[in-house]
């Protein structure tokens, strides 16, 4: 299966960098999925959770507050203000779920968006 590179960077450094087969991004105008070979797009990101499936079929989830994403055919670059890994490459749930929720709660978004994001984090937990 073809893959593309997914990079998530914050002002404090890179949070995730790896090859994925599909990723779902939380755009300002709605959630959208990206597959390799996607047309070039630049979009604002809203508070939410970025999920991706890695090359070896593992789920990765990263909670973010806000930022941008640049999609090109072989690369997805997300530039975000704050991000916390909820589920890492090994499929292991991280123990900083509280951090993720705190990050989401502090985001400047509508209550509905934040609530959706938090419930998403909680659903990953199960």
Partner 1 sequence: MASLKDIKRKIKSVKGTQKTTNAMKLVSSAKLRRAEQVAKNSKEYAAKITEMIEEISANLAKSNEELDHPYFKSVKSPKVVDLVVITSDKGLCGGFNSQTIKRVNAYIEEFESNGAKVRLRVVGKKAIAYYKFAGKELLDSIDDLSSAPSYDRAAEFINAVSQDYLDGKTDRVIIVHNGYINMITQEIRVDNLLPLDPSEFTPSAVATSELEMEPDDDTLLEALVKRYIEFVMYYNLLDSLAAEHGARMQAMDAATSNAKDMVNSLSVQYNKARQAAITTELIEIISGVESMK
Let me know if 22 is exposed, middle or buried by CB neighbors in 10 A (0-12, 13-18, 19+).
Answer: middle
9 binds partner 1, rule: CB under 8 A: yes
43 binds partner 1, rule: CB under 8 A: yes
- Residue 83's nearest CA partner among 108, 58, 47 is 47
Minimum distance of partner 1 from residue 122's CB (angstroms):
26
44 binds partner 1, rule: CB under 8 A: yes
- In the three-class reduction of DSSP (H, G, I as helix; E, B as strand; rest coil), residue 111 is classed as helix
Residues 55-94 that bind partner 1 (CB under 8 A): 68, 70, 72-73, 77, 79, 81
The two tokens of residue 71 are 């999609």
The count of other CB atoms within 10 Å of the CB of residue 46 is 23
Minimum distance of partner 1 from residue 124's CB (angstroms):
26
d(CA 94, CA 92): 6
Minimum distance of partner 1 from residue 91's CB (angstroms):
25
Contact residues toward partner 1 (CB under 8 A) are: 7, 9-14, 27-29, 39-44, 68, 70, 72-73, 77, 79, 81
């Amino acid at each position: 299966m073809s893959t593309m590179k997914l990079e998530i960077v914050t002002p404090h450094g890179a949070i995730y960098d790896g090859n994925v087969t599909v990723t779902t991004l939380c755009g300002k105008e709605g959630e959208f999925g990206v597959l390799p070979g996607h047309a070039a797009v630049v979009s604002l990101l809203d508070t939410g959770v970025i999920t991706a499936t890695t090359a070896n079929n593992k789920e990765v989830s990263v909670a973010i507050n806000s930022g941008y994403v640049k999609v090109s055919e072989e690369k997805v670059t997300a530039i975000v203000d704050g991000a916390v890994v909820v589920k890492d490459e090994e499929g292991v749930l991280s123990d900083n779920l509280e951090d993720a929720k705190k990050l989401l709660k502090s985001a400047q978004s509508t209550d509905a968006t934040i609530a959706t994001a938090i419930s998403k984090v909680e659903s990953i937990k199960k």
